[in-house]
Structure 1
């Protein structure tokens, strides 16, 4: 224990058992008694300001985090000082799993918006999870989801066409909003166009043209960072067109 305040359920009603995200992060599916065990180690952080860092590259793994609200990006910095966005994190998604392998963070996590974050000391989490098989299973599930998002990112980067990358990004973000119980076809992007370009490996101008093309084709409507997906089926088709075309190309070979 480092003196950080333990979560006060009675006052804040923000413990795992009362959290609106309980079906999305670690507590999903575990018993009330096990939730209480998790409550006992969760610490409440002060609100996070936009641009504030949860951790930096090289910091030892001390805790994992769950945004109760707000959004984060994880970035790595090249030797030339260029920022590469490697992930975005919405409410209910664990942040900090990049340090599991080496014991220290390989990237840094930066708040895209004002946020409130639950902090879970990792050593204590590992001890409790070892004692509670259902919690351990949930932890493995969440780690698997994180690995899946990394694979999705690689899937985006191997797309040859910029339009496919942009469509796949918007489609994936839509599904993630659906998973956290928010509207999947109407949402505000927490990240900037610059962040999206760095995530997709594209030029900023290319991303802007891609959004404009989707709007001109009636697939989406864009007002600032506000996105309305007008034709979800068409966005899905555009996002996965390369996968659909691959069997045809093999058939002609």
Structure 2
């Protein structure tokens, strides 16, 4: 869903605040003083499971408004990490107009629908299928791109894929090796080329 940018009255900052890849914007338990709008880049919200593993709760894409705990006066419920260099815009609640509150509602609603869809993708099917879905999803984000020959790629580690598919890193590494041997993927350091995109879409159930 395309969102119109918040007006200058929403926040006193004139330019987005830069966040470097790998940086944490906030941690679970931090006080929540404002909302944020992602101007560029890709973030992910992470929660620690009772087993001590990080689980990706959702990806935050350009245009998304997040930090919704501030609407309820609650502490942050998860950690937000930058997967790429990013730019965010703080949105201070006291400056929101009625129309801007409606934009916040629509953004959060669209993200809820996306999270529900992603949740089904994580739980449905064998891990090999889930990996294919997740890589195709990331290929359309700021972590993805295309080589000169047109093949898509994703800048991702095995650990990131494991956290995004609800699996262990060891299981993901094993299956990525098998998918490489089958000609579906070409892994390199922090970069995975989707060498057979159409076959991956078939595997993922997206065709």
1:199 equivalent in alignment to 2:164: yes
| Structure with the higher strand share, 1 or 2 | 2
Closer/same/farther in 2, CA of residues 154 and 118 from structure 1, 3 Å limit: same
Closer/same/farther in 2, CA of residues 147 and 216 from structure 1, 3 Å limit: same
CA contact (8 A) 1:26 1:139 kept: no
TM-score of the aligned structures, taking structure 1 as reference length: 0.64
Q: Quick one: distance in 1 between partners of 2:153 and 2:71?
A: 32
- Tell me what 1:26 maps to: 3
- Tell me what 2:68 maps to: 97
Closer/same/farther in 2, CA of residues 149 and 40 from structure 1, 3 Å limit: same
CA contact (8 A) 2:180 2:186 kept: yes
Q: Quick one: distance in 2 between partners of 1:61 and 1:26?
A: 23
- Tell me what 2:79 maps to: 108
- Tell me what 1:168 maps to: 133
CA RMSD of aligned residues (A): 3.3
Closer/same/farther in 2, CA of residues 204 and 78 from structure 1, 3 Å limit: closer
- Tell me what 1:85 maps to: 56
Q: Quick one: distance in 2 between partners of 1:80 and 1:202?
A: 12
Closer/same/farther in 2, CA of residues 100 and 157 from structure 1, 3 Å limit: farther
Query: Alignment partner of 1:66: what SS?
Result: strand
- With 147-156 and 59-68 compared, the bigger mean Cα shift is at 59-68
- Tell me what 2:43 maps to: 72
Closer/same/farther in 2, CA of residues 123 and 26 from structure 1, 3 Å limit: farther
- Map 1:225-244; keep pairs closer than 5 Å: 225-240=190-205
| Structure with the higher helix share, 1 or 2 | 1
Closer/same/farther in 2, CA of residues 97 and 240 from structure 1, 3 Å limit: farther
Unaligned 5+ runs, structure 1: 1-23, 28-34, 245-253
Alignment length, in residue pairs? 202
**Match for residue 88 of structure 2 among 114, 117, 138:** 117
Q: Quick one: distance in 2 between partners of 1:89 and 1:123?
A: 23
Query: Alignment partner of 2:139: what SS?
Result: helix
TM-score of the aligned structures, taking structure 2 as reference length: 0.76
Larger Rg: 1
- Tell me what 1:58 maps to: 29
Unaligned 5+ runs, structure 2: none
